[in-house]
Amino acid sequence: MAVEDKAPPRSNAITRFLQAIRFSHTVFALPFALGALLVAANGHPTLRTLLLVIACMVLARTAAMLFNRLSDWSLDQKNPRTATRHRLLEKSIAWALLAISAVGFLITSAAINRTTGLLAPVALLIIFFYSLTKRFTSATHFFLGFALAVAPAGAWIAQTGRLDLPPLVLGAGVVCWVAGFDLIYATQDVDFDRQEGVRSLVVKLGIAQSLRLAQWLHFLMFLALGAFGFIAKLGTIYYAAMPLVAAALFYEHRSASKLDLAGINRAFFQSNAFVSAIFIAAVAVDRWR
């Protein structure tokens, strides 16, 4: 049986809001944005740029999650795993917070430089579009990966004002990484998705083939991290951390292979948070030494 969302607390509005947008999952994308920023700035971005990039990341992800909740409002109520989500926020409040976070992102992006300001609406369209893809394509997992891959590209542009090869390679790795772990996560909902006609590769391919595809995607992600290190001229410390990334991914796939849905849910967060943390730590130590 799929792991259900915990019932929302009644007294703490901030806690309900953070649960609604899965704020703890910010640790997945933020380290890759900061890693790209550190490389672009050769380890020394200005405090202003660093804070603005972090603010953009938080605002963009908040807007994306609120849009996702609103677009799936009725669907989530039917799914036993997500049936309590609509109780976390009133719909009218969710719309208001979506508008505030989206406008905040546009303003903050414009405060960085002209290029980030011009590209900010495009970034919002990309991250919003993901939430609609499950209605017409089974490749929705890759659209989610593309949405998160905007982060390192945006951080690089925030520092340099242009887009170069390193963030594109890193972004390709993020696409593979996210698509892989989203395939694993989607195994929890395969019966519900099939019943409701929700598109996903797990529904199309079945659980076994989807898990195999996730393994290949994470292998490609590992290669992309190596290529990023080479192109960005990162050193021994960065490469020494890569076995830890491989170990975390191995643990995630080992948990998934047991088809223990509670274990999958736990490994999903632990493994991917660890991958993100190791990546940013390796880049930071390499650039600051």
Model confidence pLDDT, tens digit, residues 12-40:
777 766 676 666 666 678 999 999 999 99
Residue of 133, 140, 109 lying closest to 123 (CA atoms) = 109
At 1, list the tokens. 């049986």
Mark the ranges of the chain whose per-residue pLDDT is less than 70. 1-11, 16-18, 20-27, 83, 85-87, 258-268
d(CA 144, CA 186): 12
d(CA 54, CA 27): 11
Phi-psi region of 22 (alpha: psi -120 to 50; beta: other; left: phi over 0): left
d(CA 238, CA 261): 33
Phi-psi region of 206 (alpha: psi -120 to 50; beta: other; left: phi over 0): left
Whole-number pLDDT of residue 195: 83
Helices (H) and strands (E) in the chain, counts: 13, 0
Whole-number pLDDT of residue 2: 42
Residue 271 near residue 252 (C-beta atoms within 8 A): yes
Tokens 């390709």: give the residue: 172
Domains of the chain: 13-288 (1.10.357.140)
Whole-number pLDDT of residue 194: 84
At residue 31, φ and ψ (nearest 5 deg) are -60, -30
210-248: burial string, b at 16+ Cβ within 10 Å, e else: bbebbbebbebbbebbbbbbebbebeebbeebbebbeeb
d(CA 51, CA 120): 17
Question: Rounded to 5 degrees, what angle do the CA atoms 143, 216, 233 make?
Answer: 85
Whole-number pLDDT of residue 270: 78
Whole-number pLDDT of residue 113: 96
At 216, list the tokens. 């290949």
Q: Alpha helices of 187-235 — where are they, by DSSP H? A: 190-196, 201-205, 207-231
Whole-number pLDDT of residue 259: 61
| Residue 244, CB-side half-sphere exposure with 13 Å CA sphere | 16
Task: Quote the DSSP letter at residue 233.
Answer: T
pTM of the predicted model, to two decimals?
Answer: 0.88
At residue 137, φ and ψ (nearest 5 deg) are -145, 145
d(CA 173, CA 166): 11
